[in-house]
Structure 1
Amino acid sequence: MAEEGPDVLLKARERTLSVFREDVEQKWKGPFYFIQGADPQFGLMKAYSIGDCSSGGDEWEEEHLLTQQAVQAINRLSPRPKFFVLCGDLVHGMPGTPWRKAQTRDLKDILKGVSRDIPVVFVSGNHDLGNAPTPETIEDYCQEWGDDYFSFWVGGVFFLVLNTQLYFDASKCPELKQAQDAWLDRQLAVAEEKQCQHVVVFQHIPLFRKDPNEAHDYFNLDESIRRELLGKFHKAGVKAVFSGHYHRNGGGTHNGLDMVVSSAIGCQLGEDTHGLRVVAVTPEKITHRYYSLDEMSNHQGIEKELTALMKPN
């Protein structure tokens, strides 16, 4: 079993990540990049193959191997990414279901293999909290993986991590949604006041899959909440929102905001490949590209493209 290092499986506490010192990281130091992944979701591939996605999934060997491949590819990258963010649905077993504990243990064992100088940032998804979360399921997640919402600075960029289940269905914990709403308003006020190079949001459920005017369904947020968040994000200068949940690549733009929907490390529900997204941050813009895990494993090719991506205009 891999040994957990100080910067690996770091848990957000008190609504921030201590590994990134705010007094140091508020200053722009030059272009950098990070890796975004989503939905390793240990157990879904078996459940999906037998047509019973409501089950916890009693096998996850495929997801195990795919996540190992992702970690190995990330560890070979040079220069190093600033961090690796996982945008939710870490395991498939819902709270209280069989196999959840074993899925969580196996995923953690793999993620402990991420190089110690690449912090892993966790975002909560619906399978991590339940489709209609409760105070108990959120507390269990926080104990296991860290805070369900928080903010941090890296290289002059302000990052916000949201719990989108509180926007999807907070009927069993309305007071927790109110708390996140108040916290988000405070963070967006900070974003307006500070001279951020960029403001970026990570969440599990996308605001929209492809079109900001599309109808609400399982894979996006309700139109009223979507409009509210889009308005707040625009006012605060949010440049991009990165999500998962769709198990396909998607996304679009609205008022200068880039809604990025990344497909899964694990089970694919469309024609995309298992993969990761490389996100380059320059003074002027944020650019990104989704790579298959096989492409990521060819790290020399990725590094050449990274050099081009991070080249300022």
Structure 2
Amino acid sequence: MAATGDAFRRARGRALSAFRHDDEYEWKGPFYFIQGADPQFGLIKAWAVGDTNNGDDEWKEEIKLTEQAVQAVNKLNPKPKFFVLCGDLIHGMPGSQWRKDQERDLKNVLKNTDQNIPLVFVSGNHDIGNAPTRETIDNYCKSWGDDYFSFWVGGVFFLVLNSQLYFDSSKCPELKQAQDVWLNEQLAVAEKHKCKHIIVFQHIPLFLREPDEDHDYFNLEKSVRQEIMEKFHKAGIKAVFSGHYHRNAGGSYRGLEMVVTSAIGCQLGEDTHGLRVVVVTDEKIVHRYYSLDELSSQGMEKELLDMLAKQI
């Protein structure tokens, strides 16, 4: 897989080319995927020096951590269906000095992902800006693929959303409206095909622990959140996986699980650098967060492997 060109532009036309719809509408038995978040090349130094706006001129530590993540994923047996990165791929905001170098170095690490494990990219606030514009979103799409799209895997419907449009769409309201229209259409498709589960990926969590918690930098504004939660609940969505918080967290709203996964890169709490293994069975979605060291040395635990036994 090449580090440049189309290798990382996986989503085009609001679909993921790695999975053909016609082959994936039917349930084929349990499977799993890997979720990571926030490799965020440049944040570890910026956080350490206390200058998150300008201090991100060094990211050797993030390169090592992401290399370890890729190696751990490549060693897993059976292989995951895909590896999703839930945003903040790099730390440099649009227009910042180190952005191109950070993107280049991240792609050089990710190109070593097993070519049979598709990469799925989710846009974060550092990828497109806290208040994105049409230009910042277009630039992201040129580098990484569509900012929102859907795909099917074995009867399960996955939706990748641009959560920044829910956080602050003041500079591109027409793009938020377009995503809203598209999302309603996708949920209608899911209902028509009677999918086994619907799972959402986005960068910013709906909430961190409680559906009615106060709004801050790490979650969505309460009225926006409530509208989305209710829409997801009515559609039968089982889980939303996100990052952004650089700590593990989560909760539930009327049967909808909110899963907040800590970072591959800089930790802001007590968690270790890690990845989440997510097993999808006929009846449920089971997940566990592993440190990179744990996943590298031991792989998945027997309990999760047993859930996959039908397809091995």
What TM-score range do you get, normalising by the shorter chain? over 0.9
Mapped pair 1:45 → 2:44? yes
Q: Which residue of 2 aligns with 1:25?
A: 24
Q: Structure 1: how far apart are the matches of 2:286 and 2:278?
A: 6
* Runs of 5+ unmatched residues, structure 2: none
* Equivalent residues in 2 for 1:274-285, closer than 5 Å: 274-285=273-284
CA-atom RMSD, angstroms? 1.6
5 and 50 in structure 1: CA distance in 2 versus 1, 3 angstrom threshold: closer
Mapped pair 1:188 → 2:187? yes
Q: Which residue of 2 aligns with 1:119?
A: 118
* Offset of residue 310 of structure 1: 3.4
Q: Which residue of 1 aligns with 2:11?
A: 12
Q: Which residue of 1 aligns with 2:163?
A: 164
> Structure 1 residue runs of 4+, over 6 Å off?
none
| More moved, 21-30 vs 189-198 | 189-198
Q: SS of the residue aligned with 1:266?
A: coil
Q: Structure 2: how far apart are the matches of 1:204 and 1:88?
A: 5
| Deviation per residue, 1:214-261 (Å, 9 max, x gap) | 011000001111111111111111000000000000000111111000
* Offset of residue 308 of structure 1: 3.0
Q: Structure 2: how far apart are the matches of 1:153 and 1:308?
A: 24
Q: Which residue of 2 aligns with 1:142?
A: 141
* Offset of residue 10 of structure 1: 4.5
Q: Which residue of 1 aligns with 2:176?
A: 177
Q: Which residue of 1 aligns with 2:150?
A: 151
Q: Structure 2: how far apart are the matches of 1:151 and 1:287?
A: 21
* Offset of residue 267 of structure 1: 0.2
Q: Which residue of 1 aligns with 2:109?
A: 110
Q: Which residue of 1 aligns with 2:300?
A: 302
Q: Structure 2: how far apart are the matches of 1:223 and 1:285?
A: 28
Q: SS of the residue aligned with 2:56?
A: coil
Q: Which residue of 2 aligns with 1:291?
A: 290
| Deviation per residue, 1:266-285 (Å, 9 max, x gap) | 00000000000000000000
| More moved, 238-247 vs 184-193 | 184-193
| Deviation per residue, 1:36-75 (Å, 9 max, x gap) | 0000000000000011112260000000000000000000
Letter of the 1:209 counterpart: L
Equivalent residues of 1:95, 1:129 under 8 A apart? yes
Number of residues paired by the alignment? 310
* Equivalent residues in 2 for 1:59-70, closer than 5 Å: 59-70=58-69
Equivalent residues of 1:8, 1:120 under 8 A apart? no
Q: Structure 2: how far apart are the matches of 1:306 and 1:10?
A: 31
* Offset of residue 148 of structure 1: 0.2
Letter of the 2:254 counterpart: N
* Offset of residue 6 of structure 1: 11
| Deviation per residue, 1:96-150 (Å, 9 max, x gap) | 0011000000000000000000000000000000000000000000000000000
Q: SS of the residue aligned with 1:58?
A: coil
Q: Which residue of 2 aligns with 1:86?
A: 85
| More moved, 2-11 vs 232-241 | 2-11
Q: Structure 2: how far apart are the matches of 1:132 and 1:5?
A: 27
Letter of the 1:61 counterpart: K
Q: Structure 1: how far apart are the matches of 2:32 and 2:7?
A: 18
Equivalent residues of 2:30, 2:307 under 8 A apart? no
* Equivalent residues in 2 for 1:214-225, closer than 5 Å: 214-225=213-224
* Equivalent residues in 2 for 1:192-203, closer than 5 Å: 192-203=191-202
Equivalent residues of 1:56, 1:100 under 8 A apart? no
Equivalent residues of 2:49, 2:55 under 8 A apart? no
Letter of the 2:305 counterpart: T
Q: Which residue of 2 aligns with 1:251?
A: 250
152 and 5 in structure 1: CA distance in 2 versus 1, 3 angstrom threshold: farther
Q: Structure 2: how far apart are the matches of 1:261 and 1:74?
A: 20
Task: Give the % identical residues.
Answer: 70
Letter of the 1:308 counterpart: D
Q: Which residue of 2 aligns with 1:268?
A: 267
95 and 60 in structure 1: CA distance in 2 versus 1, 3 angstrom threshold: same
Letter of the 2:64 counterpart: L
Q: Structure 1: how far apart are the matches of 2:58 and 2:4?
A: 28
Question: Could you tell me the TM-score, scaled by structure 2's length?
Answer: 0.96
Q: Structure 1: how far apart are the matches of 2:213 and 2:126?
A: 24
